[in-house]
Every structure is written in structure tokens, then in C-alpha cells.
Structure 1
Amino acid sequence: MMRIHFTAEDLARTQVADGADPLWETVLSLHSLQERCPDPVLAGRRTAALTRPLSMLLPLVPPRGYFPDFLTPGAGTAGLDAGLDAVLSTPRARLRTELTRLTGRNRPAPWTRSLADGEPGSLRRLAGSLREYHNTALGPQWARITRRTATDRALRLHALWQGGAEAMLRTYGPSMRWQSPVLEVDYPVDRDLHLDGRGLLLVPSYFCKGPVALADQDLPPVLVYAASADGKQGVPEPPASLNPCLAKLIGHTRAAVLEALSSDCTTTELAQRAGVALSTASEHATVLRSAGLVSSVRQRNVVRHALTPLGTALLRSN
């Protein structure tokens, strides 16, 4: 178990990442790719096109256990390019320390040794392999990956806005349990992480199976967790018929809008699913949000809506 210790300052500085981190998804998908039954998103991805990048990346990311922190820099939350720039800027001393920890007493491969020496060409090959693998293996499904993480983020932010950081931290069970002032996390090794006023960045992930933190406790604290699978099958068909009890409770049109949110969507998609005008969908989403049943997050020039835990419970109870 890992115990993450919070102060009042840590709670104030705790936040949820904007969405999927491309480098965390890359590394965690490499874990999945090495399993007997990888995630369906990766089905058939071990093709000849990936032979070169995988030959470089798999020695750095074993199926289980430690992998170097420099593969998942904090800059990755700003996008793949920013993350790869940070990888390229990794200090030589850190490369050597983390790769020595990875290989232990085993004799490292020549590729790993040159990387540990900080050779610029090796760093460029690493960045190129990360980019090639990400674009080839994850690129075709990136919309699906980001859709799931966006849905999860909306749910967490709703709890944060309504009840503060402690309320949000209570939404992560059962693998993460808030026992103020400590977050208990199911973890393969026993450790304590003291935030010491730095706060915690929570990163929703499509490929994460269980909570993952950086090994180096001196780095800015990050906890990656498995994003909620709600809506992972994509956009559903509009409901064939409304639940009569729900329709009586909140009205037919509003019930149609609520049921159409079985997975997250934009206001335009919501109107299409519910069979109503765009202005009507927006109006009912606003009312449902005020009632705590829906959360809405602006992403660039669109607004995405998702059911809150309370909204999901209402749908399931009728």
C-alpha cells in the first residue's frame, strides 16, 4: 500500500490533469501490449511497422515493476511535443541513475548503455521511437482514449467544485481510499509519500490498470489512475423509449437529455441523441447541471457534458 500524506496546502493545490497524457498512455500501453490479452485498442498492433520502436522501448518498460521516470515528464500534460522535448532535455546524471536502477545487476543492452551515457543520438532515437510508437499504435484510437479520460475528468471536477478536494478524493474508491489526511492507495510496494505543500496532480488514464506514481519522491507528485470506463463504447444510439418513472419525475424532454448522456458528448451531439433543438439541449443541460446531475467542461470551442455520480445513480435507480 502507498499512503499519500496531505496538508491543508496540499489539498488546495491538488488538481486533475486536463486529460490524457500522451507519454503516460504510451508507457502504460506498452505494459498492456506485453500481456497475454492486451487491451482491444492494441489488438494487432505488434506489427512489422512497430518492430524498430518496440525493440528500443520494451527494454525500458518491462511488463511489471519499475520503469524510468524520465519517460513520463510532467511536461507531457501539455502534449506529445512538449513531453518529448522534456525527454530530450533529461540530465545525464538522471539518465544514468534511473537506468542503473532499471537494469540492477543485469548487464544492460548496448542501446541502454549509450542512453545512460547521455549520447545525443541515443536520446534522439528514444524520442523518435516514442513518437513513432505513439502515432502508429495509439494515434488511430486517440479520440477514444481522450473521450474516456475527458468523461472521468468531468466527474472528478464536478465533485471538486461541489465539495472541494476532499470530496473529490472520496470518488476514487475502491483502489484509492480517502482517510483524512491520508489517501490510501493499493500499490505493489509499501511506501509513504509526503506531499509537503506541493499538492498532487491526478492524471486519468485509459491504459492504467492500477494507480501509478513516480518512483522518485523528489519529483513533483503525480498519481495516474484508471479512468472511468463510462462511454468507452463510443456514442450510443438514442434511447428507444424513456423510462416512464424518470419521465414523470423530471419531464419527458429533460429525461431524454439525461438518458442521452450515458456517455459524455458535446452539446451538439446531445441535441442529436435526444432529438431536440440545440438551444433546448443546452437549456436542459444547464438545469441538470444546477441539480448536480450533469457536469460540463469547456474544451477549446465546445462544451462537453457528462453524468455525475448522482446522475448515474438516478438513471440506474429508475
Structure 2
Amino acid sequence: MLRVHFTAEDLARVRVAPGPDPMWEILLSLHVLRQRSAAPVFGPWRTAVRATLPDDTRWLLQLAPPVGYSPDFLTPTAGSCPVDAGIEQVLSTPVASLRADLAQLDCPRPDPRTDLLAGGDTAALTALGDALHAYHRHALVPIWDEVRAVVDADRAVRARSFLDHGCEGVLAALHPTISWTRPVLSIESRFPQRDVHLHGQGLVLVPSYFCRERPIMLRDPSRAPVLVYPIARDVRLTCAGRRSLEALLGRTRAAALEVIAGGCTTTELARRLGISAASASAHASVLRDAGLAVARRHRNSVLHTASALGVALLA
């Protein structure tokens, strides 16, 4: 069990990251590549990436074991950060931190570059930066619009939850493995019990596309506190092709997309357009099938938001 202790000041400083964090998605997607059990959810992506993974990125798989500890220095960003800036932070890690993190890595046959990296070797750091950039381009850039769309949908649900139930309501409903009993957030974990005291720093909640099973935190207490949690896997960005896009061209459906871009439930969509709830639901379904909107269930209603493609079309 992981127990996170909050003060009143910490509760006032809880926030949700503004978008997916590339460094966390790099690390967690590397976990998925090595987890056979991930196939039902990530199967097509995993198969395609593993078959074509550039040789100069395979070293990263050793630094990100699917079970156990992964070095904290690989995820230095407390929330969304451009990938170039995130990788620069990784390469700027003090040698003492590199050595301490890599000493905790369970790796029976370490790559020679791992030992060099622990000593702050310049060539090893350059190789790490090149590998991170190459992996991001190969594995994440092709699906990044989908990643952002489903994370944005999750953020919309958290915003609605905050308006309805406040910060403690957001924490309590964050994930099925989490329970909230003031002032402690308890998270089921595979590891021995660990207590994290925030000491007024607050907490950044990072919704993640590739995070699986349960939320996670950094092990190093000196780093900014971040809680990375899995988004609900019922969210999908799909595209049914030309016929769905042609069906979009009607006036009412275009107006529906504009309303959905601001976030709304099916009932709110019907009220704004002056149509029945059944018609609003039908329009939202076509928009989702065309890849222009995403939806998340929130308690007894469905919250609709525009996808990245939908926002681009409106623009």
C-alpha cells in the first residue's frame, strides 16, 4: 500500500496536468512493450512498434523493466512538458542522482552503456538522448493525437468532478485502486507499504494513456510529487471513414461539434441545440465514429469533448 499524506495546504495545491506528459508516456509505453499481458488493450500498437523498433532505441527497454523499479531520472517532468525540454532535463540529471537511481535498477546483464551512464559519461548521455528522441518519433508521434484526445477527455471528467464534489471528490474517484480517508490517499501497490508526506508541496495528477492497472509515484522523495494514473480504457478515438465524415456536413451536426468542443453531457447538448436527447446522442455518436469527438462516462451521464481532429476542423 502507498499512503499519501495531505495537509490542508496540499489539498489547495492539487492540480491535474494540462495534457499527456511525453516523458511518462515514453517510460510507460516501454513497460507495455515488455508486458505480454498488455496485448488485449495495446495489441496492435505493441505488435507494430516491436516489429519495427530501431536498434538504437532497444537499450531503453533495459532501463524500463515491466515489473519493479524504473529510474526516476527518466521522468523528471511534473506534468505536461514538451518532449525536447523533458529529454534535456533527463540529460541534465546530476551524476549523484544517476548513480543512485541506476543502483536500484534490477538488471542481471546491464548494457555497458548503463554503467557508463551511472558515472555521467558524456557519450552515454548523448546515446540516451538520441535513443529517447528516436523512440518518441517512432512509437508515440504517430498516435499522439489519440493520446492527447483521450487525456483531454479524462481532464474534462476531472473538471466536472471538481465542480460537483471538490478536490477530495476528485481524489476519491481517481481510480478503483484508490481510497480517500482524510487526510490520507491510499493506493494499492505491489510493493511494501510506503508513506509519502507532501509537506505543503501539493500534488500533480497526471492522466496517462499507457499507465496500466494502478497509479504510480516516483520513489525519490526529493523530487516534485506526481501521481500518474491510468485513464479509463473505454475511451477511444476512432475513424469510420468517408461516410461518417460526409454525414458530418449537416447544419445541426456542425453545431453539435461546436457545443461539444466546450465539453457537455448528452442532456446539455440536447438543451443547447433544442433537440431531443435521443437525437443529441445520435449526433454525438456520429461525431465519435468520425474521430471528431471522444466521450467519457461520468457517474450517470456521458461527457463529450472534441478530439484534436475536431478542434482542428472547427479552427
TM-score (normalised: structure 2): 0.76
Equivalent residue in structure 2 for 1:89, among 71, 75, 92: 92
Do the aligned partners of residues 188 and 264 (structure 1) sit closer, same or farther apart at CA in structure 2, a change above 3 Å counting? Answer: farther
Give the drift of 1:303.
Answer: 9.9
Structure 1: gaps spanning 5 or more residues: 240-245, 274-291, 305-318
**Contact 1:17/1:202 (8 A) holds in 2:** yes
Aligned length: 272
Could you tell me which residue of structure 2 aligns to residue 277 of structure 1?
none
**Contact 2:20/2:80 (8 A) holds in 1:** yes
SS in 2 for 1:77: coil
Could you tell me which residue of structure 2 aligns to residue 45 of structure 1?
49
Counterpart CA distance in 1 for 2:200 and 2:31 is: 32
Equivalent residue in structure 1 for 2:230, among 222, 226, 230: 226
Q: How does 1:97-136 map to 2 (within 5 A)?
A: 97-103=100-106, 108-136=110-138
Could you tell me which residue of structure 2 aligns to residue 314 of structure 1?
none
Could you tell me which residue of structure 2 aligns to residue 216 of structure 1?
220
**Contact 1:234/1:263 (8 A) holds in 2:** no
Could you tell me which residue of structure 2 aligns to residue 166 of structure 1?
168
Give the stretch that moved more between structures: 13-22 or 73-82: 73-82
Identity of aligned residues (%): 40
1:16 aligns with 2:19: no
Give the drift of 1:64.
Answer: 0.6
Give the drift of 1:256.
Answer: 3.1
Give the drift of 1:170.
Answer: 2.2
Give the drift of 1:76.
Answer: 6.3
**Contact 1:231/1:262 (8 A) holds in 2:** no
Matched letter for residue 119 of structure 2: D
Counterpart CA distance in 1 for 2:123 and 2:87 is: 14
**Contact 1:5/1:192 (8 A) holds in 2:** yes
Could you tell me which residue of structure 1 aligns to residue 30 of structure 2?
30
Give the drift of 1:233.
Answer: 4.2
Deviations 1:110-152 (A, max 9, x none): 1111100101221111111011111101211111111111111
Give the drift of 1:153.
Answer: 1.0
Matched letter for residue 9 of structure 2: E
Q: How does 1:144-163 map to 2 (within 5 A)?
A: 144-163=146-165
Give the drift of 1:77.
Answer: 1.7
Do the aligned partners of residues 49 and 218 (structure 1) sit closer, same or farther apart at CA in structure 2, a change above 3 Å counting? Answer: closer
Structure 2: gaps spanning 5 or more residues: 249-266, 295-300
**Contact 2:57/2:135 (8 A) holds in 1:** yes
Could you tell me which residue of structure 2 aligns to residue 243 of structure 1?
none
Counterpart CA distance in 2 for 1:13 and 1:295 is: 27
Matched letter for residue 150 of structure 1: D
1:205 aligns with 2:208: yes
